[in-house]
Amino acid sequence: MRTGVWLVGARGSVATTSIVGALALRAGLTGPTGCVTELPGVNSPALPGFADLVFGGHDVAVTPIAKRAEALADAGVLPARLVAALPEELSAVERELRPAPTAGTQADRAAALVRDLTAFRQRHELARVVVVNVAATEPAPRPHPGHADADALRAALAGPDEVLPPSSLYAYAAVAADCPYVDFTPSTGLRLPALTALADRHGVPYAGHDGKTGETLLKSVLAPMFAMRHLTVRSWSGLNLLGGGDGATLADPDANAAKVRSKQRVLGETLGYLPQGDTRIGYVEELGDFKTAWDLITFAGFLGTGMRLEFTWHGCDSALAAPLVLDLARLTAAAHAAGRTGPLTDLAFFFKDPLGTATHSLADQWTRLCAFAGSLDAGDTDATRG
Amino acid sequence: MRTGVWLVGARGSVATTSIVGALALRAGLTGPTGCVTELPGVNSPALPGFADLVFGGHDVAVTPIAKRAEALADAGVLPARLVAALPEELSAVERELRPAPTAGTQADRAAALVRDLTAFRQRHELARVVVVNVAATEPAPRPHPGHADADALRAALAGPDEVLPPSSLYAYAAVAADCPYVDFTPSTGLRLPALTALADRHGVPYAGHDGKTGETLLKSVLAPMFAMRHLTVRSWSGLNLLGGGDGATLADPDANAAKVRSKQRVLGETLGYLPQGDTRIGYVEELGDFKTAWDLITFAGFLGTGMRLEFTWHGCDSALAAPLVLDLARLTAAAHAAGRTGPLTDLAFFFKDPLGTATHSLADQWTRLCAFAGSLDAGDTDATRG
Amino acid sequence: MRTGVWLVGARGSVATTSIVGALALRAGLTGPTGCVTELPGVNSPALPGFADLVFGGHDVAVTPIAKRAEALADAGVLPARLVAALPEELSAVERELRPAPTAGTQADRAAALVRDLTAFRQRHELARVVVVNVAATEPAPRPHPGHADADALRAALAGPDEVLPPSSLYAYAAVAADCPYVDFTPSTGLRLPALTALADRHGVPYAGHDGKTGETLLKSVLAPMFAMRHLTVRSWSGLNLLGGGDGATLADPDANAAKVRSKQRVLGETLGYLPQGDTRIGYVEELGDFKTAWDLITFAGFLGTGMRLEFTWHGCDSALAAPLVLDLARLTAAAHAAGRTGPLTDLAFFFKDPLGTATHSLADQWTRLCAFAGSLDAGDTDATRG
Amino acid sequence: MRTGVWLVGARGSVATTSIVGALALRAGLTGPTGCVTELPGVNSPALPGFADLVFGGHDVAVTPIAKRAEALADAGVLPARLVAALPEELSAVERELRPAPTAGTQADRAAALVRDLTAFRQRHELARVVVVNVAATEPAPRPHPGHADADALRAALAGPDEVLPPSSLYAYAAVAADCPYVDFTPSTGLRLPALTALADRHGVPYAGHDGKTGETLLKSVLAPMFAMRHLTVRSWSGLNLLGGGDGATLADPDANAAKVRSKQRVLGETLGYLPQGDTRIGYVEELGDFKTAWDLITFAGFLGTGMRLEFTWHGCDSALAAPLVLDLARLTAAAHAAGRTGPLTDLAFFFKDPLGTATHSLADQWTRLCAFAGSLDAGDTDATRG
Ligand SMILES: NC(=O)c1ccc[n+]([C@@H]2O[C@H](COP(=O)([O-])OP(=O)(O)OC[C@H]3O[C@@H](n4cnc5c(N)ncnc54)[C@H](O)[C@@H]3O)[C@@H](O)[C@H]2O)c1
Ligand SMILES: NC(=O)c1ccc[n+]([C@@H]2O[C@H](COP(=O)([O-])OP(=O)(O)OC[C@H]3O[C@@H](n4cnc5c(N)ncnc54)[C@H](O)[C@@H]3O)[C@@H](O)[C@H]2O)c1
Ligand SMILES: NC(=O)c1ccc[n+]([C@@H]2O[C@H](COP(=O)([O-])OP(=O)(O)OC[C@H]3O[C@@H](n4cnc5c(N)ncnc54)[C@H](O)[C@@H]3O)[C@@H](O)[C@H]2O)c1
Ligand SMILES: NC(=O)c1ccc[n+]([C@@H]2O[C@H](COP(=O)([O-])OP(=O)(O)OC[C@H]3O[C@@H](n4cnc5c(N)ncnc54)[C@H](O)[C@@H]3O)[C@@H](O)[C@H]2O)c1
Ligand code: NA
Ligand code: NA
């Protein structure tokens, strides 16, 4: 089952790490650490193998992917030996990358995106192409009547306005090309009534949003711990310091606000009340792709006694995100093959701000993920249907 | 259903906090923060209410419990206003405390313990008495043939030797008096073949061991997080600094070793391998009842990229432990009422080193606890049987 | 040498802690921990003793100081036993507190302030009155031509405008009443050309500004450490979480900006370059008077190897500030007695943003402080002059 | 002034980093970050330049130094590009390395060491050779009468016993060859009455001991901070986690004890009392040459209010130590050239456990270092004497 993985933001850190990693796994040069889909309970014959994945993508940047990979190796994100061992494989991917279309109306650009996706699928005889958005985080878009209704949207796109933010135009094109869509970022993407309606019409599944890789991952196990022990969280405050491309984008207060909001949601929903404090994001160029997050949690125990927990997370964001991108591509492809449509709420395990009313407890999300993965293997796939 | 709670080590910090807390709850002076049995999912009509609990206990120390409570208030463990509001209630408990018997053979002392338990049950017309060991941690005992066999044990106890460590003598007496038994400490307690056989013979349930209140609690959510994300934990090292009575005891290298061992078990069993590093315990008198634990976890992600998590836990051990003592007393009493016998492995949620082969993941332990609590309410209780 | 200490913001946390502490020291109920002027090298017969200090002050709030002291005791800032032991002494101070004048032009209000100061000095037959500003931090004032010139200022004050921010009006009145003036806050206070000219004309010494009690104190020893070791500080980022009255004020972005600026100055001036990163202040009501500051410092060593230092400071701001207020009152009084005038740049040890071009290295500031204190004892005092 | 630097333990991490760094500095491939002798105030024309340094040394290991350098580059201690750029320079150093003599009595071995040192000096026409001990830390030696007296020592060395620990035999040989000697380790080295007497007889200066690179460096600025602020340090506890060669050695409890003792000295001597708590060293292989040290300091302020400071130091030991080794070689060479003899107590800035009764405050040590460096430039050097 050859499966396309089309990355929006294909020259970024997360995308490049995902690609190098998948190529290295295929070549047997590394192991699947960090890949959830390789764990018993989630792994399943229904999932395409790493060797079945074919990569392509869009980006507004032009730096060759091999150069980006070298830069990531210099920054300690990737082992240099892997990049050195895969020159031809990286060139092959390079040939599948396309510039983001810029000419014409948004309708024209969407059509160009659809052509790129369709041509990719045909060129490589792919069973399907999963589109994954790993482009830079956008600010929240200006409201537009076309966001609410698929037909109004189509009409508006043909006009001169920038009706959709870029992430949503990619989502629109993905759906139009019958591709499942995953939003790994906090950007709008498919989250507009017009677009989810369109996705339903095209019968494609979609997942999102905002990959859960650091502080929120910890929150999704620590907040349930406090809840299960009936301890009252009085305040939860944090500072996320990060450099890298993503850090620079998030230094923009608008993008920052979107990210911070999705980070707090887990607390309110898990605890049933919102503790004092908030989470801040700070850009420190010198930290590069490594992020340092510090959180202070004050809580009350029996008879009101005050206590505190502090943690420092020092993680490489791209190395944490990349295997999840591969996991999501595999799971969403298998869901599509199994005929699933609409929001894949069972993939909440992977996201800061998951679709649907899913629980925010990582353990509960895990249980749902395992059940979901198991159900994909029930035989109702392309093969059996074909 | 009036229920006795007999605390071994009744004048210690944990016991005193448990008693003051239960009295304050009964008087409506405080809320049930930290009490797991008050959470939906665990709470059940099968559990005795706080107002149904009657306290008694043994201790080698003689400081009046009201004095101990005042000292804990000065140390910030308890609100002084609660101690001030409960003078008569504390006096009533004081009258139920008995010195640890010291005269005669171990058989003589066990008989004295049984008399104390039986008299307590009768004096207060209690449905049952749950014995909870919250005495100071002991060193591991010297092996003795009597540990393996109940009849050999009975014979040996009548002789001049100290066959059983104190915690096990209490467990022996509890069982002999048909009392359910909970071991909140890492001491030997009931964990000898001769004693578990005896418990089976008497048809009493038992639970243990070593209350999970700090670093291990965190391990039981963080280690599963690493496992679920397929991240490789390379090292996990920690330092626990604590003062207080328990700290002084643990400064004894033998007691320390027992505690450290139970702390590492969770890692090996959750991850499937043992990371480098270990956990140390240090006594720092000035820290009093507040413990500071620092842990450093180094882990590898995708492509081997190294990362780290560090946390500092600053908790009040007695305030964390006391509500769990009440929870365990309530749950074990209800289990006894429901006719349960043998090891209550479903109570693993509460323990560092739980009986049976229970999972060490807090979320899984929670699921089992909820199912257990739910099953107690099936009607097969004293009342229905009676 | 009876000396008046007139506190602007006399009912605040810092002021109340200073007063209770001085009264307790006088009564022999506590020791001088935290009082720099009690250390060998700084202590000197030229300084007024604690028993020589008489307290008064202005505030816009009306809560009785005894009530404020009780609240601080409840919050763990002060031992309750001290407050309980000093009811009459606190009443005596209460009688010396005056509301901040609100009627009339700023000239009228300044005259009222002068009357309060003069009456206090006469009523208690004080050798001098040191005015110390410990009122809530203000936003930066709007520029006004009167700020530049003493005569223009006098004229403008008689008009209807709010020419001076409150802190500067107090400074103006202090100088006009021939009182030495200490600014413990980051507010404008005496830092206007018109006011320093006036201070020179009246021959009074002054000191400031912004008491150095937490993160900046650490910076003043850590930054020199990096400099002395020729290590390159690449980034220094921090988050200060605080509740309490001061925290609420600083949540105001304008006041916050002033405070943050003074915090970064020490780095640039000590290192000779400004590392990346900045310091944030967050208000978390539940933290009360205890502040938690977290700092991350990344630095490069030999051959560019990257390293990091992280610290968490958990301090009680009022307990750190109060003894310094007493120190500053004593030292400034002695300086006045010794005939010193103008900016006391040798007191840089106490301040985040010290007057003059003083070094920011705590060790160098200490050396200057000791020399200064020593020089006060040269005999050229009131007594010898009188 | 060509100057020899003879490293005992020349194939270790510290030695290799020192050598690669000096070669890279000479080649203009890197800057002097971390080199204290390049700072204004310490730098002086009296110091030999980096280009004047010629390296040699002894080791019991045989791994080629270029291989060790590559391993350090892989571990992130050195930039790989530097090692790649210096193949010939490293070969040249390789030719100057000698195996530690193993045959014969200790007198025979000392004579062999002296021959190696003398031949090195002559072969390269060196003004002098500074011997620096950077070999693995030894356990404390067994006492021997020969330790107390130079003549008894000479007699004993000719016998069959291992009279001196290895570090002291190197020190003995250094002195016998008229070489200044620096002890960068906590081993015994020259610290025996017989050896210091011999050093005096030969008129050579010496310095030591135990390079100050991590936790103790921080203590030497933080402890004075608490002292200058009259804050009472109640407890100071720490855990040092380290891998690498040095970590493995220190896992040996005897070596560990020596290191821990020297680490606590600074506290007692700076504060005037010893706080509770101690410092532990733990070996965690996976941490490699990077050390993580965590310290918790609890302290009391005004009126006894309790507060705390916590820090985590994540440093690369070899990168911190290497520039200090170069600094010490340059300063000790210049001291020898200037005719200084005996203990160089003014170099306390560099050491955990400095010779003499020097202060442990880094700032005071810096003042002494600057004065010392300045005094070397007074003209009384080889050149002027020659
Ligand atoms: N790394 C993580 O842990 C993590 C976690 C959750 C979410 N994310 C999200 O993943 C995204 C990518 O992160 P990153 O670190 O790779 O960032 P990056 O800055 O390295 O890469 C973003 C890429 O997107 C490209 N891009 C920007 N606008 C585009 C457009 N309109 N069309 C096509 N390409 C465009 C950029 O040129 C760049 O190559 C971000 O939105 C981030 O918030 C990352
Ligand atoms: N507090 C926690 O978070 C926690 C968690 C897990 C386990 N525990 C365990 O709970 C126990 C109690 O802790 P604590 O902090 O209350 O200690 P503590 O020292 O304050 O109290 C122990 C009490 O046991 C009494 N005692 C000692 N030997 C006895 C004997 N032979 N018979 C009867 N009484 C005896 C002592 O006199 C004392 O009153 C310890 O074993 C501890 O390891 C505590
Ligand atoms: N605590 C520290 O460590 C520390 C360090 C440096 C500086 N400071 C500064 O000290 C000041 C006091 O801090 P705090 O914690 O006591 O704050 P606080 O809020 O407890 O007290 C401030 C007091 O000032 C009074 N006030 C406000 N405006 C006034 C006015 N116009 N005239 C007279 N009184 C007025 C308030 O009514 C209040 O009683 C703040 O400016 C703070 O920034 C404190
Ligand atoms: N790195 C630091 O920050 C630091 C700070 C202070 C002190 N030190 C001390 O510096 C020393 C070296 O540290 P390292 O990290 O380079 O250790 P390392 O283990 O990497 O190197 C030690 C070297 O000494 C050699 N050696 C052992 N015994 C010897 C002997 N008898 N004769 C000659 N060579 C011998 C070993 O073969 C090895 O090559 C240690 O004693 C350490 O305690 C290091
Ligand atoms: Na910390
Ligand atoms: Na930390």
Together in a domain, B323 and B302: no
Q: Which of B362-376, C47-61, D157-171, D346-360 has the lowest mean pLDDT?
A: D346-360
Determine the Cα–Cα distance for residues D324 and D315; give it in Å rounded to an integer.
15
**The predicted structure's pLDDT at residue A385:** 40
The encoded tokens of residue D361 equal 């405050």
Phi-psi region of B342 (alpha: psi -120 to 50; beta: other; left: phi over 0): left
Determine the Cα–Cα distance for residues D164 and C283; give it in Å rounded to an integer.
62
Determine the Cα–Cα distance for residues A361 and B363; give it in Å rounded to an integer.
9
Percentage of residues in chain C having pLDDT higher than 90: 85
Q: Which amino acid is at C27?
A: A
* pLDDT tops 50 at residue C34: yes
Of the two residues C1 and C201, the one the predictor is more confident about is C201
Mean pLDDT of chain C: 93
Together in a domain, C182 and C247: no
Percentage of residues in chain C having pLDDT higher than 70: 92
To which residue do tokens 């110091």 refer? D47
**The predicted structure's pLDDT at residue D262:** 63
What CATH number does the domain containing C9 carry? 3.40.50.720
Q: Which of D317, D340, D357 is the last residue of a domain?
A: D317
Of the two residues D271 and D360, the one the predictor is more confident about is D271
Instruction: List pocket residues of ligand 4, CB cut-off 6 Å.
Output: D 8-9, 11-14, 58-61, 100, 134-137, 166, 184-185, 210-211, 213, 244-246, 317-318, 320-321
B22 and chain A in contact, CB less than 8 A: no
3-state secondary structure at position C102: coil
Give per-residue pLDDT as tens, A355-374. Answer: 986 688 999 999 999 999 99
Together in a domain, B238 and B166: no
Strand ranges (E), chain C:
3-8, 53-59, 97-99, 128-133, 181-183, 205-208, 232-242, 279-283, 290-300, 306-316, 342-343
Together in a domain, A241 and A262: yes
Mean pLDDT of chain A: 93
Q: Which atom of ligand 2 is nearest to the CA of B211?
A: 6
Together in a domain, B328 and B306: no
**The predicted structure's pLDDT at residue B265:** 77
D232 and chain C in contact, CB less than 8 A: yes
**The predicted structure's pLDDT at residue C252:** 66
Q: Determine the residue among A39, A231, A303 to mutate to test chain B binding: the one whose Cβ has the most chain B Cβ atoms within 10 Å.
A: A303
- Phi, psi at C295, each rounded to 5°: -130, 140
Q: Which of A128-142, A240-254, A289-303, D250-264 has the lowest mean pLDDT?
A: D250-264
Asked whether B38 and B328 are in contact (CB, 8 A), the reply is: no
Partners of A230 in beta bridges: none
Together in a domain, C39 and C85: yes
Q: Which amino acid is at D100?
A: A
Determine the Cα–Cα distance for residues A368 and C263; give it in Å rounded to an integer.
49
Interchain pair D235, B278: CB under 8 A: no
**The predicted structure's pLDDT at residue A252:** 66
Residue of A nearest to B28 (CA): A303
Asked whether A2 and A52 are in contact (CB, 8 A), the reply is: yes
Give per-residue pLDDT as tens, C196-219. Answer: 999 999 999 999 999 999 889 999
Chain D residues lying within 8 Å of C309, measured CB to CB:
218, 311-314
Interchain pair D284, B277: CB under 8 A: yes
Q: Which amino acid is at D99?
A: P
Question: Is ipTM strictly over 0.90?
Answer: yes
pLDDT band at A1 (very low <50, low <70, confident <90, very high): confident
Give per-residue pLDDT as tens, A70-106. Answer: 999 998 899 999 999 999 999 999 999 999 999 999 9
Interchain pair A316, B304: CB under 8 A: no
- Phi, psi at B182, each rounded to 5°: -125, 125
Together in a domain, C305 and C329: no
Instruction: For residue A289, give its domain range.
Output: 215-316
Together in a domain, C336 and C292: no
**The predicted structure's pLDDT at residue D358:** 64
* pLDDT tops 80 at residue A172: yes
* pLDDT tops 70 at residue C255: no
**The predicted structure's pLDDT at residue D383:** 44
Question: How many residue pairs bridge chain A and chain B with CB atoms within 8 Å of each other?
Answer: 172
Residue of C nearest to D315 (CA): C307
Most confident of the ranges A249-258, B196-205, C247-256: B196-205
Give per-residue pLDDT as tens, B363-379. Answer: 999 999 999 999 997 65
Chains contacting D with at least 3 CB pairs below 8 Å?
A: B, C
Asked whether A360 and A270 are in contact (CB, 8 A), the reply is: yes
String of b and e for A183-214 (b: at least 16 CB within 10 Å)?
bbbbbbbbbbebbbbbbeeeebbbbbbbbbbb
Give per-residue pLDDT as tens, C169-190. Answer: 999 999 999 999 999 999 999 9
DSSP string, D145-208: GGGT-HHHHHHHHTSSS--S-HHHHHHHHHHHTT--EEE-SSS-TT-SHHHHHHHHHHT-EEEE
**The predicted structure's pLDDT at residue D359:** 82
Give pTM, 2 decimals.
Answer: 0.94
Determine the Cα–Cα distance for residues B8 and B99; give it in Å rounded to an integer.
10
What torsion, rounded to 10 degrees, do the Cα atoms A351, A354, A358, A361 define?
A: 30
Between C239, C276, C286, which is nearest A294 by CB? C239
B214 and chain A in contact, CB less than 8 A: no
B274 and chain D in contact, CB less than 8 A: no
Give per-residue pLDDT as tens, C112-169. Answer: 999 999 999 999 999 999 999 999 999 989 999 999 999 999 999 999 999 999 999 9
Determine the Cα–Cα distance for residues C344 and B193; give it in Å rounded to an integer.
78
**The predicted structure's pLDDT at residue A383:** 44
**The predicted structure's pLDDT at residue D386:** 36
The verdict on the CB of residue A11 being under 6 Å from ligand 1 is yes
Together in a domain, C153 and C77: yes
Asked whether C256 and C250 are in contact (CB, 8 A), the reply is: yes
Determine the Cα–Cα distance for residues B284 and B243; give it in Å rounded to an integer.
5
For residue C230, say if its preceding peptide bond is cis, omega within 30 degrees of 0: no
The encoded tokens of residue A261 equal 């909001």
Residue numbers in chain B where pLDDT is lower than 70: 245-246, 250-263, 357-358, 378-386
Number of domains in chain C: 2
Residue of C nearest to A279 (CA): C282
CA separation, residue A200 to residues A4, A206, B164 (Å): 21, 10, 70
Determine the Cα–Cα distance for residues C243 and C314; give it in Å rounded to an integer.
12
**The predicted structure's pLDDT at residue A356:** 85
Determine the Cα–Cα distance for residues B76 and B244; give it in Å rounded to an integer.
12
Look at the alpha carbons of D252, D255, D259, D264 in this order and tell me if their dihedral is positive or negative: positive
**The predicted structure's pLDDT at residue A313:** 97
A255-258 long-range contacts, Cβ below 8 Å, gap at least 24? A255/A137, A255/A138, A255/A139, A255/A186, A256/A281, A257/A140, A258/A137, A258/A139, A258/A140, A258/A186, A258/A187
Q: Which of A316, A343, A372 is the last residue of a domain?
A: A316
- Closest-CA distance, B55 to chain A, in angstroms, reads 18
Q: Which of D278, D293, D317 is the last residue of a domain?
A: D317
D241 and chain B in contact, CB less than 8 A: yes
* pLDDT tops 80 at residue C339: yes
Q: What is the mean pLDDT of residues D313-322?
A: 96
**The predicted structure's pLDDT at residue D214:** 85
C35 and chain D in contact, CB less than 8 A: yes
Interchain pair D218, C224: CB under 8 A: no
| Number of helical H runs and strand E runs in chain D | 14, 11
Asked whether A11 and A61 are in contact (CB, 8 A), the reply is: yes
The encoded tokens of residue C33 equal 């921990």
Together in a domain, D284 and D144: no
Together in a domain, C264 and C137: no
A307 and chain C in contact, CB less than 8 A: no
Determine the Cα–Cα distance for residues A182 and A376; give it in Å rounded to an integer.
18
Mean pLDDT of chain D: 93
* pLDDT tops 90 at residue A145: yes
Alpha helices in A211-339 (DSSP H): 215-228, 244-250, 253-271, 317-337
The encoded tokens of residue C347 equal 């007191």
Look at the alpha carbons of B27, B28, B29, B33 in this order and tell me if their dihedral is positive or negative: positive
Asked whether D271 and D334 are in contact (CB, 8 A), the reply is: no
**The predicted structure's pLDDT at residue C223:** 95
Interchain pair A301, B309: CB under 8 A: no
* pLDDT tops 70 at residue C383: no
pLDDT band at A258 (very low <50, low <70, confident <90, very high): low
Percentage of residues in chain A having pLDDT higher than 70: 92
| Residue D161 CA, ligand 4 centroid: distance in Å | 25
**The predicted structure's pLDDT at residue B384:** 42
What CATH number does the domain containing D220 carry? 3.30.360.10
* pLDDT tops 50 at residue A240: yes
Q: What is the largest CA-CA distance in chain A?
A: 68
**The predicted structure's pLDDT at residue A261:** 65
Chain B residues lying within 8 Å of D251, measured CB to CB:
none
Interchain pair A286, C241: CB under 8 A: no
Q: What is the mean pLDDT of residues A272-300?
A: 94
**The predicted structure's pLDDT at residue D251:** 67
- Closest-CA distance, B22 to chain A, in angstroms, reads 10
Together in a domain, A292 and A163: no
pLDDT band at D384 (very low <50, low <70, confident <90, very high): very low
Cβ atoms within 10 Å, residue D56: 25
